[in-house]
Amino acid sequence: MNLHTHTTYCDGTASALDFVKTAKQLQWRSIGFSAHAPLPFPCDWAITADNLEKYTAEITNLALLNQSDIKILCGFEIDYLIGLGFPALRYPEVQKSEFLISSIHFVNNPKAENPNTQYLEIDGTYTQFLLALKSYGFDLKKLLQAFLEATQQMISEPVGTLKIIGHIDKIILNAAKASEFTALENWFYDELFQIVQTGSYSYDFIEINTRAMYKKALSNPYPKLEFISKLHQTKIPLIINSDAHHPSELNGSYSNLYQLLSNCGLESIVKNHVKF
């Protein structure tokens, strides 16, 4: 099972039909589609607003055609932007979707004068990340604080449907490359844990995302295993996704993750996942 997938409607490289075929070969009971919803500024990895209707119709049609074999869900991955909330919720197709993965890919720019530079991408290339860091005076703690602030607001704001928090610590992909991160790591995860705890009734699941394991050969999913263990101990519902951009990634690093979770005594997460 996997609710986090991207097709050619956004930055994926295969059609929804190809994903469904692979999911059926894997004998999955369900699969969800989560195109990056449009942003209020140009973005080359998101679906365009004029394609929303076509996307929803295509997924709904696939769901009908395959209903005896597999449950197909239509959703979106939506961005939370400080000051704007979830801008994608203004589109009826997004509002009506069966689930939403809410993620932070941008922090606000404290130095912005021009609205086009209001938001800074933090999970793109390291160069993009450094540009964001520059706007925070090269103070990594301040940038992480902005990310935590956005995460806190994102967690507490309802979306009107099933809400999954996507790759909750993804900023570390780039942040961990900065030498100052080591000294900030414990502080960052303690803050993140507080946020998740206090907002625990305003989301349905926190995602365990394997993308960095099969794409970047990292040894941990998002969030890192130690943090997953803490979330599990406090009974926070978790869901495993691969953030697939191609059908070959649908179960990317799942078996590796299952093994890691079992080694940490977290078999029940695996058992729950397989039941979906």
Residue 151 vs 266, nearer CB to Zn ion? 151
Residues 23-82 that bind Zn ion (CB under 5 A): 77
Say how many residues touch Zn ion, by CB under 5 A. Answer: 3
Residues 116-135 that bind Zn ion (CB under 5 A): none
**Least distance in angstroms from the C-beta of 265 to Zn ion:** 29
**Least distance in angstroms from the C-beta of 139 to Zn ion:** 25
**Least distance in angstroms from the C-beta of 211 to Zn ion:** 7
> How many helices and strands in the chain, by DSSP H and E?
11, 8
CA 92 to chain centre: 21
Residue from 2, 97, 102, 103 touching Zn ion (CB under 5 A): that is 103
Backbone angles phi, psi at 176, to 5 degrees: -70, -15
DSSP 219-276: SS-BSPHHHHHHHHHTT--EEEE--BSSGGGTTTTHHHHHHHHHHTT-HHHHHHHHH-
Distance CA 66, CA 63 (A): 5
CB 213 within 8 A of CB 241: no
Per-position x/- string for 206-245, each x denoting binding to Zn ion as judged by CB under 5 A, each - no binding: -------------------------------------x--
**Least distance in angstroms from the C-beta of 103 to Zn ion:** 4
Judged by the rule CB under 5 A, the positions of this chain that interact with Zn ion are 77, 103, 243
